[in-house]
A = this chain, B = another copy of it.
């Protein structure tokens, strides 16, 4: 399995998932309880009661104002994790306190810090398109029964779109076109670029952009290890002008694909996926079409990775995998993850 990287921010939920109901998520093996206080602040703490380990997201556990009441014996906790009430006695044991987790709500995600030291000035990486008025977003979360490293591998090598997602977002040019890879080991960022000058337009994009002929298609991957994956996707009719020197790019369609890759247990992963577009912003048909089809594509990956995990589980000892040029980005990501995991 891929080692966990602690002392990092991870996407625990979408902001819309965190409210006045208790939500439980397991991040890097730690059970985390999430809810929103009456004044709207997202908080995170251990999801297990200190008394007998009852899961605090499990009914009849409940919120009482901003306090969490355990559904088993009524141990009650404040937003700072401190226990404020126990049954049958006035004295609260000094050690009755839930671990709390630093929380940042940013770019539609609720990020939690998992680690042994404090985050200090460290902030989660950005995905500003997800709550920008200039973009319309479709998104979701799918659990994967597999090591998070399988999802990193999957996303770092988009040549699989041609095969696993053929007929959806894949066309022959993706697998045919060589990649350029740049690795910033210090920052823990891997960039993989594939620029196709004259490519078939997948039905996916033809339908949503209205382009009828062949396209220029750029895929610029930017992976911020361990948790955030960005795919800057640019589609334009062949022959259309490129971006302006000032960064504006009025002749192209832009899609920003964002993945929050959150290890849950050693062999389960939360796959937070979001797709932001800068066109047809108010076209509800396009929104529905992209939501349905992007989810279909994500589920093709989920099914494949679940199968792959089962293959690896029964693989005989001593097997070796074989890597080629397309794997350059994925192998760089693995090296960074291994280094980060070991560095703690």
Contacts and interface: CB of A to CB of B under 8 A. Distances in A.
Interface in A245-274: 265
Interface in A124-143: none
Contact of A315 (B53, B72, B175, B323): B53
A321 interface: yes
Contacts of A179: 88
A170 to B, nearest CB: 10
B324 A89 contact: yes
Contacts of A304: 54, 58, 71-72
A70 interface: yes
A50 B95 contact: no
A53 to B, nearest CB: 5
A29 B311 CA distance: 11
Contact of A55 (B52, B95, B164, B311): B311
Interface string A133-157: 0000000000000000000010001
Contacts of A72: 160, 163-164, 304, 308
Interface residues of A, number: 55
B311 A159 contact: no
A48 interface: yes
Interface in A286-344: 304, 307-308, 311-312, 314-316, 319, 321-326
A176 interface: yes
A60 B163 CA distance: 7
A162 interface: yes
How many copies of the polypeptide does the oligomer hold? 3
A203 interface: no
Contacts of A60: 163-164, 166
Interface of A: 26, 29-31, 48, 50-55, 58, 60, 69-74, 86-89, 93, 95-96, 153, 157, 159-160, 162-164, 166, 175-179, 265, 304, 307-308, 311-312, 314-316, 319, 321-326
22 contacts: A48-B311, A48-B315, A50-B322, A52-B308, A52-B321, A53-B312, A53-B321, A60-B163, A60-B166, A69-B163, A73-B159, A73-B163, A73-B175, A74-B159, A87-B159, A87-B175, A87-B326, A88-B175, A88-B324, A89-B178, A95-B322, A96-B322
